[in-house]
Amino acid sequence: MSERKVLNKYYPPDFDPSKIPRMKLPKNRQYTVRLMAPFNMRCKTCGEYIYKGKKFNARKEDAENEDYLGIRIYRFYIKCTRCLQEISFKTDPRNTDYEIEEGATRNFMALKLAQEQEKREEDAEKEEEATNPMKLLENRTQQSKQEIELMESLEELRDLNRRQGNVDYDTMLLKYNPAELKEQIKRMQEEEDENTVKNLMGIKRKINENEELIESDDNMTKSKIKNVITPTTQSSVKKKVSKLNLLNLVKVNNVSSTNKTKESCNSLSLIGNYSSSDESN
């Protein structure tokens, strides 16, 4: 019994390959290959969308009597995933793309249209340059300006590289010692602390001075108020004293008037008594 999955086979010394009969294959044989859909398409019969990248077991064959600059063109056959309608497309080496033939329609592709538009514009510019010498001259002057700008930028880059090449990074690193940097940072922090303390002390002094000024102003205002109040009180006291004197005088006058009335009454009574004594006699 022979080996299974053998790699090396035994060929006898009297082996003649010309005696082996050749297989009779069809001229345009189809091969089954595994491929992915190269573009988005839609089935014509059922309207199913087939997206780019979907895998199919396709049949491949050579397109008869079709080539591009000696490059063979291949045709592929796939089936719709919904209705099993056969869809065929072939390679397009001229545009490095695929071309749909039957069974489906290719969907809109913005990128492809943009590339085609760009290619058309380039072709139109080339034709215009070939027919219009002034346009060709303008394009050449613009290209020369761009080249000059590029040369200037290159010179600037070279100068920059030259300046950077003259710099010795080792000496720069030695200059910037980490211990010295720490000391400098510490010194700067101490100076900042001193400045903040000085500022705070100055603010406190200003506050104390303002408080003293306010107290002195209060004392001045109080003394002025006292000076204003004392004469007014003296005048009011004098007025009260004068009023009391007047009241006393009024009272004395009243007493004297009462005495006078009493004396007049006594004199009248004496006169009456005298008159009555005369009549009795």
Lowest mean pLDDT among 136-145, 150-159, 207-216: 207-216
Q: In this structure, what DSSP letter does residue 100 have? A: E
Closest CA to 45 of 88, 76, 89, 82: 82
Judged against a pLDDT cut of 70, whether residue 51 lies above it is answered with: yes
Q: For 67-122, how does the pLDDT look when each residue is reduced to its tens digit (9 = 90+)?
A: 999 999 999 999 999 999 999 999 999 888 899 999 999 987 777 788 888 988 99
Among 38-42, 201-205, 259-263, name the most confident range: 38-42
Residue 107 is classified by DSSP as P
What does the pLDDT read at residue 113? 81
Provide the percentage of residues in the chain whose pLDDT is more than 90: 30
Q: Point out the annotated binding site.
A: 43, 46, 80, 83
Task: Pick from 54-58, 127-131, 192-196, 273-277 the range whose average pLDDT is largest.
Answer: 54-58
Residue 43, burial from CB neighbour count under 10 angstroms (0-12, 13-18, 19+): buried
pLDDT in tens, 185-243: 888 988 888 888 888 887 877 777 777 777 777 777 777 666 655 554 455 545 554 55
Mean pLDDT of the 23-27 span? 79
CA distances in angstroms from 122 to 112, 115, 125, 127, listed in the order given: 15, 11, 5, 9
pTM score, whole prediction = 0.40
Mean residue pLDDT across the chain: 79
> What pLDDT does 202 receive?
79
3-state secondary structure of 39: coil
- For residue 41, the Cα-to-chain-centroid distance in whole angstroms is 43
Q: Which of 59-68, 116-125, 188-197, 244-253 has the lowest mean pLDDT?
A: 244-253
Q: Scanning the structure block, which residue is given the tokens 């009335």?
A: 261
More confident residue, 210 or 124: 124
Binding-site annotation: residue ranges for Zn(2+):
43, 46, 80, 83
